[in-house]
Structure 1
Amino acid sequence: MGINELNDAWISAGQKVDGMNAKLNAAVLDDAFDKDAFKSMKAQRDNLAAQRDAIKDQLDEARALEVRQMDNKDKQPLDDGQKGVRDQFVKEFKNMVTSTQEGKGNGGLTIPTDVQYTINQLVRQFATLQGLVNVESVSTTSGSRNYEKLSDITPLADLDDESAKIGDNDDPELTLIKYAIHRYAGITTVTDSLLKDSVENIMAWLSTWIAKKVAVTRNLKIIEAMGKAAKKPTIAKFDDIKDLENNTLDPAIMATSTFVTNQSGFNVLSKVKDAQGRYMLQRDVTQPDIYRLDGKTVTVIADRWLPDVSGAHPIYFGDLKQGITLFDRENMSLLSTNIGGGSFETDTTKIRVIDRFDVEVVDDGAWATGSFKEVANQAATTPADSGKTA
């Protein structure tokens, strides 16, 4: 499906969500209110909203991929309207920084969608952890979601009589997850020389600076959530990794599960050998940059993003997209001062960026986490005893 089709599907899905919201609003005001019917409509609305957001994510990915694959000769300069949006933002940014007066603040500056898109593209380069979890865009500062854990789903009833009456399914065991958007902020100091620079340079500096701050902040919160897994096996030998893979999660999650470790942990795993002396970690023959462990993708995170804990390397296995959700408020803002934060004493201007999001565990059984310092090789075998049984 192309970008145009995805865009049309996104618009159509949004219209369906709006339509369902209108029906829900009418239902709650109806004197003949039906609790079960309302519950069914609400579930349908939530499913449509999830589909709309998923289509939007795919649309963003398709647009980004198209840009990356474009030939330089096909790249067109910004038109006057696009330049106007960018130039206006930089103009307002300069005015915000230079308009602070002694004893007075200013109203700040909300980062527009187009600029946030650029920042988000940079965040993807820095924050590999965010790509591992589910990201849901929200428009409110707090809310809740109902989730059904995979392990709680019960089978359909077995009817051995063709004429038997079909009964109701068991009510699902839903877990209520509440989110509350937090504000995360960082401050940097700017000089007058920056404000005299070109629009392109100011945009590049702002985008990169904000992206780095956002990446570090979100990684920290995701790592905190990753440590809340229900199962935490001890890893000392390669067979322990096999146990982690085969015996800690619901088998239904196996198909979408992957390994995650940091660079130091990856270095240790890359040297582990099987009983025949072969390295257990193998390159994907179709994608040389991808490594697999027992057929499962291994994601390697830089130590600075995913550090060791007390000298032990972290390792995770499972489907983090099913287990963790980042609720993204998508409402970044900038504020400056030449009075507070030590600016007055140093005759400088400080700029604060605020990012708004929350990270919540929605299913702690969707992944397991362990740690290791060294991993012993599998014991070597010989043709004479390889077929022996205990």
Structure 2
Amino acid sequence: MNINELHDAWITAGQNYTDKQANVQNMAIALANGTKDYTDEEIKNAKKEMNKAKQARDLAKDALDSATESNKMVESTKPVAKTLTDEHHVFANGVRDLMSGKTKVLNLVSSSSDNQTTSGAGLTIPEDIETRINKLIRQFDALQPLVNVESVSTVSGSRVIERFGLMTPLTSIEDEDADIAENDEPKLATVNYKIKRYAGINKITDSLLKDSDENIIAWLTTWIARKVVVTRNQAIINVLNTAPKKATITNVDGIKDLDTGMLDPAINRLGYFLTNNSGLNTLKKVKDAMGRYLLQPDVAQAGAFTFDGKRIVVVSDNWLPDVSKDTHPLYFGSFADAVTLFDRENMSLATTTEGGKAFEKDQTWIRVIDRFDVEMVDDGAMAVGSFSTIEDQPANLAPKA
């Protein structure tokens, strides 16, 4: 069996163990919540399968390490010059010399930190790439800051939340000896989440990586950061679009109906509008009955606008695209109350010079996996609309006939 086959076997065994582990975790959660009963035999078998899968994964890793060592397939490392202080060069040499083991690395299978040198499978990458990527992500126009983000440590779970709803008043009691009536119950709902995996691979020839350190690293970190933002944005948009919808908006009254006509007043006071840059450009041209532009400058933020006293948050078309050609999105609500992103917080980065076809093609393959889930928590906390053009308000000062 060659190195590639052993590497693939290790990856497959690792995924199988992750699946078995997730199954045991789900059973534990279900038992804790009282939503399902499992027999002692079922619990015993699940734990047995998980332990067996772990042994298979560890065996595959040992076999891969042994084969790599015996076949002398570890690339010789290139020492970093002591005078090389620029962090881009340091990081670039870390990626290029994947097996150096001189810097703290990320264990890409378990997503845990490990100071030990990883042998010839080529599965390490300098840890500071994650810091670099996270800094870039914050620079982009992401939707994630608008919603509620909850860090989770399990692959699935549930949350009990209280929805906005009608509430009856307390019962008036005239007779001091009368029995007190029971209150109506809070409107509770269970929101389930299940962490999903999103992944992609970049392939770089080793000669290009050696010849163009700066350009390759800058491209790599920016590409991964953009990919993560786009991926999470799309998941958030998909959930936003499940909220109650308003017919296509064509006039100013339709915009007002989106907030005051569809949501609870408590949410209305907290809410704000969300659209993309193309949508804002269209709204900025709408005039009121006096011929003045309808949008007002936001005194709290230079360059921002408000409508009917509500602020308008604008996101680039790159991150919040049009619904269709020349049709722009318009959301209103308290998005932090409406949507929650459950973040597993262990994006993993893996590189290999030997897995797949990388060894045959003299390439370095870089894989990113992001883990999260987005769920609608309260669809009564926001509403969805869209528009192409908005009519100017008609002049209302014309003399009556």
TM-score by length of 1: 0.66
Match of 1:303?
A: 317
Match of 2:262?
A: 248
User: Of residues 334, 342, 353 in structure 1, which corresponds to 2:368?
Assistant: 353
Mapped to 2, the partners of 1:354 and 1:97 lie a distance apart of 21
CA 1:161–1:351 in structure 2 vs 1: closer, same or farther (change >3 Å)? same
Residue 116 of structure 1 deviates from its aligned partner by 4.1
Mapped to 1, the partners of 2:90 and 2:365 lie a distance apart of 21
Gaps (5+ residues) in structure 1? 1-27, 29-82
TM-score by length of 2: 0.64
Residue 210 of structure 1 deviates from its aligned partner by 2.6
Match of 2:274?
A: 260
Gaps (5+ residues) in structure 2? 1-31, 33-84, 102-118
Mapped to 2, the partners of 1:108 and 1:166 lie a distance apart of 68
Match of 1:122?
A: 136
Cα offsets for 1:334-381 (capped at 9, x unmatched): 122335565456432110011110111111121111111111111111
CA 1:109–1:291 in structure 2 vs 1: closer, same or farther (change >3 Å)? farther
User: Of residues 157, 165, 182 in structure 1, which corresponds to 2:170?
Assistant: 157
Match of 2:393?
A: 378
Mapped to 1, the partners of 2:143 and 2:159 lie a distance apart of 22
**What letter matches 1:331 in structure 2?**
N
Mapped to 1, the partners of 2:349 and 2:211 lie a distance apart of 19
CA 1:116–1:247 in structure 2 vs 1: closer, same or farther (change >3 Å)? same
**What letter matches 1:279 in structure 2?**
Y
Q: Give the secondary-structure state (helix, strand or coil) at the position aligned to 2:370.
A: strand
Match of 1:320?
A: 335
Residue 216 of structure 1 deviates from its aligned partner by 0.9
Mapped to 2, the partners of 1:309 and 1:321 lie a distance apart of 22
Higher helix share: 1
2:304 is aligned with 1:290: yes
Cα offsets for 1:194-227 (capped at 9, x unmatched): 46888x9987665433321110110111111111
Match of 1:212?
A: 226
CA 1:227–1:87 in structure 2 vs 1: closer, same or farther (change >3 Å)? same
**What letter matches 1:256 in structure 2?**
L
Verify the 8 A CA contact 1:106 1:335 in the aligned structure 2.
Answer: no
Mapped to 1, the partners of 2:144 and 2:268 lie a distance apart of 21
Q: How many residues align?
A: 297
Verify the 8 A CA contact 1:111 1:331 in the aligned structure 2.
Answer: no
CA 1:96–1:166 in structure 2 vs 1: closer, same or farther (change >3 Å)? farther
Mapped to 2, the partners of 1:223 and 1:172 lie a distance apart of 29
Residue 92 of structure 1 deviates from its aligned partner by 6.8
Superposed CA RMSD: 3.5
Cα offsets for 1:128-164 (capped at 9, x unmatched): 2111111111111111111111125x24514354946
Residue 294 of structure 1 deviates from its aligned partner by 1.1
User: Of residues 156, 161, 186 in structure 2, which corresponds to 1:142?
Assistant: 156
CA 1:370–1:272 in structure 2 vs 1: closer, same or farther (change >3 Å)? same
Residue 110 of structure 1 deviates from its aligned partner by 8.4
Q: Give the secondary-structure state (helix, strand or coil) at the position aligned to 1:289.
A: coil
Residue 126 of structure 1 deviates from its aligned partner by 1.4
Q: Give the secondary-structure state (helix, strand or coil) at the position aligned to 2:229.
A: helix
Query: Which one has a bigger Cα radius of gyration?
Result: 2
Q: Give the secondary-structure state (helix, strand or coil) at the position aligned to 1:266.
A: helix
**What letter matches 1:172 in structure 2?**
P
Mapped to 1, the partners of 2:134 and 2:183 lie a distance apart of 42
CA 1:169–1:212 in structure 2 vs 1: closer, same or farther (change >3 Å)? same
Q: Identity across aligned pairs (percent)? A: 50
CA 1:345–1:202 in structure 2 vs 1: closer, same or farther (change >3 Å)? closer
Residue 95 of structure 1 deviates from its aligned partner by 5.4
